[in-house]
Chains A and B, each alone.
Chain A
Amino acid sequence: MMKHLLGLLFVSVFIITSALVSSPAMAAIEVHNFKSPENEARYQHLIDELRCLVCQNQNIADSNAGLAYDLRQKVYEMIQAGKSDTEILNYMVERYGDFVLYRPPVKGYTLLLWFGPFILLFGAVVLLIRFARQRKDLEVFDEAELQDIRTLLKQTSGDPK
């Protein structure tokens, strides 16, 4: 019995650690030679930030789709050509819209997206406070009511104390 338990423990520890250690799966193995480690970090950051439009809930770093491959290639080429991050993101937005960014910019029609949750939270807090106050009101009895309660309790259980 003890042996079994130990075995089980060992297996679960093994599974958990291997899950923690393994790096996030890259969709495809692509070899890119960057001019500097900074450029490589920028590349990694940009492909994490860009959405794959075919498989909409993945970024282009994680996607196997042909379009994601093309976009990664384009990001690589633009970095090699010395373009800045802003220039690369602008290039993508000009063609695919804000939707291509996982973090859309704060502007007119994205205001609700950015601040809607906070408005809802505020509303919920206001409602909560209101309900809490009403509850308290219910618990307050005046002297006459308390007298009634005492009489009733005396009648049912004999001794109120």
Chain B
Amino acid sequence: MKMRFLWPLTLFALLAGLLGIGLTLDPKKVDSPLINKNAPAFDLGQLNDSTLHISPDNLKGQVWMLHVWASWCSVCLGEHPLINRLSTMQGLTLVGLNYKDDRLAALSWLNKLGNPYQAVAFDPEGKAGLDWGVYGVPESYLIDKHGVIRYKEVGPINDTVLKETLLPLIAQLQAETL
């Protein structure tokens, strides 16, 4: 008989628990369907020299990161010191994708704040970005030696993500044989 009064309480607790979990989720974090898929191809001119082309095919055999950024993106400004630090790391090729930006603005941004990238692809119309499923800047993709996307970070990389996720994953991908 007492159980009857426990029912609503149990239901309430269940519902509160469910909604509580919902609150901790970030709706902006949409899992990329491209994880564990081949990196989409592009063939873009480089930011500092449009006659030099860059394509993911050139980077096969390396562990590399595609970092999507723009000079108009204020969050990128805050993330930049960390990207600069990342560029000094052994065993990671850092490639920039300059997304919907102005060439001169992007170049002066890099001149002022330091250029961490080994190459920057210039994508003023965001066409390559569309193929990669970019929906905001910054975004970072980690690609393994086989050219498969293994990880995506939406928004700026912070120290926690770097230490707990990226660095171990980079070491793991480095250890993989071709």
Residues in A lying within 8 Å of B, measured CB to CB = 53-54, 56, 66-67, 70-71, 74, 93-99, 127, 134
Contacts and interface: CB of A to CB of B under 8 A. Distances in A.
A99 B30 contact: yes
Interface string B23-39: 00001101111100000
B27 A56 contact: yes
Contacts of A134: 4
In this complex, which of B4, B27, B30, B132 has the most chain A Cβ atoms within 10 angstroms of its Cβ?
B30
Main secondary structure of the interface of B (DSSP, over half): loop
A54 B136 contact: yes
Given A54-B136, A66-B100, A97 B32 contact: yes
A161 B125 CA distance: 90
A73 to B, nearest CB: 9
Interface in B73-115: 100
B178 interface: no
A95 B30 contact: no
7 contacts: A67-B135, A71-B130, A74-B130, A95-B34, A96-B33, A127-B7, A134-B4
B131 interface: yes
Interface in B122-178: 125-126, 130-133, 135-136
B49 to A, nearest CB: 26
Nearest to A127: B7
B113 to A, nearest CB: 23
Given A66-B100, A93-B33, A95-B130, 5 more contacts: A53-B136, A67-B126, A74-B130, A97-B32, A97-B133
A99 B125 CA distance: 23
Contacts of B132: 95
A143 to B, nearest CB: 24
Taking each of A56, A67, A98, A127, which has the highest tally of chain B beta carbons within 10 Å of its own beta carbon?
A67
